[in-house]
């Protein structure tokens, strides 16, 4: 059952914010949906956006300026929260880059996190099925993109579930989490110490293992004044090399002067929605 929190007219469509009781998470989860004007006439393609650390289901819809382009292209936009909330887990709200607000879009296997932090199943299975059942969505035309931690999530979920997601792109993704501090901290706590298990949630390792899955390419934008790029948290060059070795077409665009935030994201949003529309229109 979906609870409607609010709905707003937007570029001829409807921007809504919703909640439901998740069976995967075991708690209420919030998400947002933009329905373009074309959705009033019948099912349209769907594009999931996964946000980064500390963000919520509102962040992308408020800051990215994506609805204008979704209305032009006839795309439903879906943005999910970044983790369970109010879990009662000790330490879950202690750090900004781990726990609540930082689910990393994986299914935790370690206690106590495994009780509620089942983000891969929630996004890729439960929420996807809910959107297709309750909104005018084309179940066979779904793409995914994201930012930072959400860029990691978009790349890994697309590669792990290519039967669900037909197109993928990212803004400043954590491209090799087994090789950066953010990823190592999350993986050892959520997944334990087995590094082979970690590789199953690292986009660069997954491309090496599974090869080219997206013949129409993957699009990534990276700002060169991004402090997290400078701190070696993102590592797009590792993903670039893995794609080259696997024969996976990749467009990795490096932009001088742009940082990690939504000014950067909104600048190139039109390109990403056009990219997905082209991939989802066949």
The contacts of residue 158 (CB under 8 Å, 6+ apart) are: 144, 165, 167, 168, 213, 214
Smallest CA-to-CA distance from 59 within 276, 265, 271, 236 is with: 265
169 is catalytic: no
From the number of C-beta atoms within 10 Å of its C-beta (0-12, 13-18, 19+), residue 51 rates as buried
Among residues 147, 152, 201, 260, the one annotated as catalytic is: 260
260 is catalytic: yes
Among residues 148, 167, 169, 175, the one annotated as catalytic is: 148
Smallest CA-to-CA distance from 157 within 128, 131, 181, 190 is with: 128
Structure tokens at 40: 């009033």
Among residues 32, 73, 226, 276, the one annotated as catalytic is: 226
107 is catalytic: no
Task: Provide the edge-to-edge strand list for the sheet that holds 167-171.
Answer: 2-10, 13-21, 28-35, 76-80, 44-50, 137-147, 167-171, 218-223, 250-255
Residues assigned a catalytic role:
148, 226, 260
């Amino acid at each position: 059952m979906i609870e409607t929190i609010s709905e707003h007219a937007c570029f001829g469509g409807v921007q809504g914010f919703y909640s439901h009781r998740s069976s995967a998470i075991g708690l209420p989860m919030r998400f947002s949906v933009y329905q373009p004007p074309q959705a009033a006439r019948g099912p349209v393609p769907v594009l999931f956006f996964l946000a980064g650390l500390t963000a919520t289901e509102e962040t992308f819809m408020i800051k990215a300026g994506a609805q204008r382009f979704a209305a032009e292209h006839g795309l439903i936009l879906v943005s999910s929260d970044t983790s369970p909330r109010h879990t009662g887990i000790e330490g879950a709200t202690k750090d900004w880059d781990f726990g609540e607000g930082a689910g990393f879009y994986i299914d935790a296997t370690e206690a106590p996190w495994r009780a509620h932090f089942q983000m891969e199943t929630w996004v890729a299975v439960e929420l996807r099925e809910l959107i297709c059942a309750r909104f005018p969505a084309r179940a066979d035309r779904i793409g995914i993109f994201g930012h930072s931690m959400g860029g990691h999530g978009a790349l890994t979920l697309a590669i792990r579930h290519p039967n669900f997601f037909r197109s993928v792109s990212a803004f400043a993704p954590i491209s090799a989490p087994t090789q950066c501090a953010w990823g190592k901290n999350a993986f050892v706590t959520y997944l334990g110490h087995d590094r082979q298990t970690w590789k199953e949630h690292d986009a660069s390792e997954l491309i090496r293992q599974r090869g080219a899955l997206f013949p129409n390419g993957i699009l990534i934008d990276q700002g060169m004044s991004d402090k997290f790029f400078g701190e070696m948290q993102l590592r797009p060059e590792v993903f670039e090399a893995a794609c080259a070795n696997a024969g996976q077409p990749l467009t990795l665009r490096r932009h001088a002067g742009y940082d990690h935030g939504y000014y950067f994201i909104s600048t190139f949003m039109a390109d990403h929605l056009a990219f997905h529309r082209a991939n989802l229109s066949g």
